[in-house]
Every structure is written in structure tokens, then in C-alpha cells.
């Protein structure tokens, strides 16, 4: 099969979307750094961003992945993916949901970094509503409060800073990795940003290859794709989506080429959840994807 430069098969090329801004810059950005891992106590009564920011500051982490599974939130504010209202964007966010009662996150990971100089999170999560239905969405980290203390796993580095800046291509403010110069730019922790129209699965494999990873795991993977095609043949037609990787493993072919085996939940514009393994070469990134990988090659 002949693939495009973005790692897309012919059948996926028609699903690429043209954004309002020019397509430029490195399409896959990734930086390595020494890995810092700790189980941290997130204090109640703070916003999610402030609670994680305080823990990260104590560890010297400036880019990281945090697992928020089990977090009890109240109040909670979140949005869902939806269609764009203007031509400035190819997709957008819904109005903010503000449920009367909080809830606990059944599964959630977040990218930790900085926006306008303060701690910030990009968090996709799963939870159950009052009827017990599994739901998903994008948690607003400055407006959502941790109602009870939480012990969470925080993994990151001080060699890289995830910094949210305006992206002229997508017209969104997005996280990107920048070297801090405060620690060696080598190590087992990989911070990566994937731009639009790159195939999601093969982009992860290219990141692994770039950093010499033949065995590894994803610590967090969140972002969006243009609808989705899964390995079992399931197709999500709605363009606006958000995704959350629940399990990601990197192994290698006999020839040494990395192979990414990802399982994810996808939330579409209708609020529907789909779980499965995204098909290789058939899932162009919509807005962006953020991936954190732990290199286990020598372990």
C-alpha cells in the first residue's frame, strides 16, 4: 500500500481537512527528558489545574501526564466536541455543561503544562451520569474543583515545558513542547505533539522510531481525529471528536520498526462513545494530539 507523507492510506486522504491557517512547522514535535514519577496528593478545594500545578512544582515537573481516575469533582464544568460555528475553525467546543451535582471520574488523564504563565491541564475524561450511563468529555481545569483529596500518579520531566500558545493553523491555543535547558534533553520520558492530518497511529510509531524506542507504553494520549476508523471495522462518521487513550503499548517488528497498539475511547459530536483500537493509516488528526511515552527498551 502506498501511503501519503502523513502516513495516511488512500482511503483516508479524502478525510483530511484544510484549516483556516497555513499548514507549516514540524508536523510531529517530540522531545526527550529524564523521567520523574511520583504518587502525589492533590488537595481538595482547589481547581484541577491549581492542585496538579502545586504537585508538579514540588517535583520540578514542567511537562507531564497525570492520571485523575477516581477524582471527585464538584462543581464540574466540561464541554463536548461539536461542529464549528464559523469558518475560522474546522470543529469547535459545545457550550459549557454545568451539572447541578458533581461526579467522580471513572477514567481520566491530562496533559500538564502552562498557559499564560500559570499551571494548566488538557484533560479528557470518562464518568457516569446519575442514570449510570458512561459519558465523556473535555474537563475545564480552571473551573472544575476537586471536592475530595486524591492520590494521583504524576509522571513528567523538567527538561521540557508544555506551553499553550496560539496556533495560527488551527486558530486554537494548543500545548506544544519546548526544551527548558534545565535538564539533559535525553531520557526515558517522551513529550510529543502531533499536528493536523497526520495519521494518529503511525505518528506514535514515528515518535518511537525517532527516539529509538523498541518497547514502551503511553502514559497519556489525548486529542482528536477526523471521525474514526477502528480495526474491527467500526466507523465514526461525525467529524468533530475527542479521544482518550486508555492503553498504549509499543513493541517492534522483526526488522526493528516500532509498532503501536493503542486502545482508545472516542467521543463524537453527538455525545456517543466508541471504544476500540484505531486502524493504522486511516485516522488523520483533527486539531492535535498530545502523547507521553515511557521508553522501556532496556527494561
Tens of pLDDT, residue by residue over 202-248, are: 999 999 999 999 999 999 999 999 999 999 999 999 999 999 999 99
pLDDT the model gives residue 13: 63
pLDDT the model gives residue 9: 65
pLDDT in tens, 119-142: 999 999 999 998 999 999 999 999
Q: How confident is the model at residue 5 (pLDDT cuts 50, 70, 90)?
A: low
Mean pLDDT of 40-53: 98
pLDDT the model gives residue 211: 98
What is the spatial distance between Cα 111 and Cα 57, in angstroms, rounded to a whole number? 15
Q: How confident is the model at residue 15 (pLDDT cuts 50, 70, 90)?
A: confident
Question: Do 207 and 291 meet the contact criterion of CB atoms below 8 Å apart?
Answer: yes
What is the spatial distance between Cα 191 and Cα 121, in angstroms, rounded to a whole number? 14
Whether 2 shows a pLDDT value over 60: the answer reads no
pLDDT the model gives residue 25: 82
pLDDT the model gives residue 130: 86
Mean pLDDT of 52-56: 98
Whether 67 shows a pLDDT value over 60: the answer reads yes
What is the spatial distance between Cα 280 and Cα 258, in angstroms, rounded to a whole number? 13
Give percent above pLDDT 70 in the chain. 96
In the DSSP assignment, the letter for residue 212 is T
> Chain-wide mean pLDDT for the chain?
95
Q: Which domains does the chain have, with CATH numbers?
A: 10-34+158-295 (3.30.1330.80), 36-156 (3.30.1330.80)
With CA atoms as reference, report the closest residue to 90 among 229, 233, 197, 231.
Answer: 197
What is the sign, positive or negative, of the torsion defined by CA atoms of 249, 250, 255, 256? negative
pLDDT the model gives residue 187: 94
What is the spatial distance between Cα 80 and Cα 270, in angstroms, rounded to a whole number? 9
pLDDT the model gives residue 56: 99
Residues in CB range of 30: below 8 A, 6 or more apart: 177, 190, 191, 192, 193, 207, 210, 211
Mean pLDDT of 20-38: 95
pLDDT in tens, 196-209: 999 999 999 999 99
What is the spatial distance between Cα 10 and Cα 96, in angstroms, rounded to a whole number? 37
pLDDT the model gives residue 10: 67
Give the chain's count of helices (H) and strands (E): 3, 21
Amino acid at each position: 500500500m502506498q501511503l501519503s507523507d502523513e502516513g495516511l492510506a488512500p482511503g483516508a486522504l479524502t478525510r483530511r481537512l484544510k484549516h483556516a491557517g497555513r499548514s507549516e512547522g514540524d508536523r510531529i514535535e517530540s522531545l526527550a527528558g529524564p523521567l520523574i514519577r511520583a504518587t502525589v496528593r492533590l488537595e481538595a478545594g482547589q481547581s484541577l489545574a491549581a492542585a496538579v500545578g502545586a504537585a508538579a512544582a514540588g517535583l520540578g515537573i514542567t511537562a507531564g501526564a497525570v492520571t485523575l481516575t477516581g477524582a471527585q469533582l464538584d462543581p464540574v464544568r466540561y464541554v463536548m466536541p461539536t461542529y464549528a460555528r464559523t469558518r475560522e475553525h474546522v470543529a469547535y467546543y459545545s457550550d459549557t455543561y454545568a451539572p447541578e451535582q458533581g461526579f467522580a471520574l471513572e477514567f481520566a488523564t491530562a496533559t500538564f503544562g502552562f498557559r499564560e504563565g500559570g499551571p494548566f491541564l488538557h484533560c479528557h475524561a470518562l464518568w457516569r451520569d446519575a442514570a449510570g450511563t458512561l459519558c465523556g468529555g473535555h474537563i475545564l481545569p480552571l473551573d472544575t474543583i476537586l471536592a475530595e483529596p486524591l492520590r494521583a500518579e504524576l509522571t513528567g520531566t523538567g527538561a521540557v515545558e508544555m506551553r499553550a500558545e496560539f496556533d495560527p493553523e488551527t486558530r486554537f491555543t494548543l500545548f506544544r513542547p519546548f526544551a527548558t535547558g534545565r535538564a539533559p534533553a535525553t531520557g526515558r520520558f517522551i513529550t510529543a505533539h502531533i499536528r493536523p492530518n497526520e495519521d494518529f497511529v503511525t505518528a506514535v510509531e514515528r515518535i518511537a522510531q525517532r527516539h529509538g524506542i523498541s518497547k514502551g507504553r503511553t502514559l497519556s494520549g489525548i486529542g482528536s481525529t477526523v471521525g474514526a476508523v477502528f480495526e474491527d471495522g467500526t466507523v465514526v462518521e461525525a467529524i468533530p471528536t475527542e479521544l482518550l487513550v486508555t492503553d498504549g503499548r509499543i513493541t517492534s517488528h522483526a526488522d526493528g520498526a516500532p509498532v503501536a497498539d493503542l486502545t482508545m475511547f472516542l467521543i463524537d459530536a453527538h455525545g456517543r462513545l466508541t471504544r476500540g483500537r484505531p486502524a493504522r493509516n486511516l485516522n488523520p488528526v483533527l486539531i492535535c494530539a498530545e502523547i507521553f511515552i515511557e521508553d522501556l527498551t532496556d527494561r
